[in-house]
Amino acid sequence: MSAARRHYCGLGLGMESRVKGAERIGAQRVLLLAVLGAGVAVLSSGAVAGLRTGRLAADYWLTYLPGAEAVVHGLSPYPRYTYPPQVALAYTPLTFINATVGAYVAVFVCAVLIAATLAVLRVRDPACYLAVFLWAPTWQELDMANITPALALGLALAWRYRDRPIVCGAALGLIVPAKLFLWPVLWWPVVSGRVRALWIALGVGLLLTFGAWALIDFKGLTRYPHMLSALDAEYGTHGYSFVAISSELGAGTGAGHLASCIVGAMLLFGALVFARRGNDLSSFTLCIAAALALTPIVWLHYLVLLVVPLAIARPNFSSIWLLPAVLWIAPTPMNPEGLASAEPLLVAAIIVYATLRPKTLIPVPTSGRAPAPAAT
């Protein structure tokens, strides 16, 4: 056989090998999507059954809908309602339709907002979308129909448009007053040089909050801080915060508050350090982590917020996307007890660590102007 013929035969064998490799990878990909899709289908069927029996959308039934109905009738939603008035105002359209239909709408909107968060962050891998809907935190969110997906979308918009102070600031100004535990996120524009975005966030937040309170004649405003303190005292030992974990393990709430402050301060300091070193994503991630560390109340669905830094750092599917699904492996996955109550904290820590090691470095601005958005 001539050298030329051997050369062409080698090329043919190499091409055949590559084609078979591509076919094998393609088959594995189809199998992965099929398995993930089947898991989502099983969980979705349970959710539909729960909606039919009225067991889903607990926050909609117990908090948002009563608050919105009170506002529509010119009454104070407090003290039964525990959110700022702008959230109740946002739910007023649902008071004009059948309450059960409104529950369907609330759950559907929550699911759409989670998917929209990934889309805003330019996640194109369908496996990532399916994986998120296998998370135990995601399904507790759909079980409660809380506003956490709206907060996640706001964080995603703030990151995506971080070079546009008006959009970035408006997004932060909308979500931080709605859930005050997110206040550490405002540390990110401080340390990253986005002073204009910070002022816009503060202005939008104050205008929106006091404007909404003015619409209800400032009813409940003076009692609101006391109501939040009472809420922390009542539910602080029942969630997954440092306070709850410390209480569950018998160390008392004082040790939990101390641990929360220490870890939160370390995370905020780390955000400053990373910003000074030019790592914008790590700074942003640690501010979100600080919000989860410092709040005295953490429910499982709060971990949905971590989809934002995860999607930025890992826009393609990998095993880390399935980690929160591990939280299903517990005797009571929605309400772990004892040592199991620390599982969500461990999962959150691993996701944060994975996010701190992105494949590419996303810089912070060296002046008041932010950099162009990175490809995510």
Q: Which residues, 6+ apart, have CB-to-CB distance to 137 below 8 Å?
A: 300, 301, 302, 303, 304, 324, 327, 344
Confidence class of residue 372 from pLDDT cuts 50, 70 and 90?
very low
In a domain, 337, yes or no: yes
Contact (CB, 8 A) for 253 and 237: yes
Of the two residues 11 and 171, the one the predictor is more confident about is: 171
- For the CA atoms of 30, 122, 105, 84, what is the dihedral angle to 10 degrees? 140
Q: What percent of the chain has pLDDT over 90?
A: 59
Residue 234: band (very low, low, confident or very high) from pLDDT cuts 50, 70, 90:
confident
Q: Confirm whether 308 is domain-assigned.
A: yes
Is residue 169 domain-resident?
yes
Structure pTM? 0.87
Residue 278, by phi and psi: left (phi above 0), alpha (psi -120 to 50) or beta? left
Let me know if residue 234 belongs to a domain.
yes
What is the percentage of the chain residues whose pLDDT exceeds 70? 83
Please give the mean pLDDT across all residues of the chain. 86
Residue 359 CA: distances (Å) to CA of 158, 161, 192, 275, 347: 21, 21, 20, 17, 21
Residue-number span of the structural domain to which 43 is assigned: 37-355
At 299-328, the pLDDT tens digits run 999 999 999 999 999 999 999 999 999 988
User: pLDDT at residue 276 above 60?
Assistant: yes
- Residue 249, in any domain of the structure: yes
The total number of structural domains in the chain stands at: 1
Flag whether 336 is in a domain: yes
Q: What is the per-residue pLDDT across 137-172, written as a single tens digit (0 to 9) for each?
A: 999 999 899 999 999 999 999 999 999 999 999 999
Mean pLDDT of 250-257: 86
Residue 7 forms part of a structural domain:
no
Residue 373 pLDDT more than 60? no
Cis peptide before 333 (omega within 30 of 0): no
Looking at residues 346-374, what average pLDDT do you find? 65
Tell me, yes or no, whether 191 lies in a domain.
yes
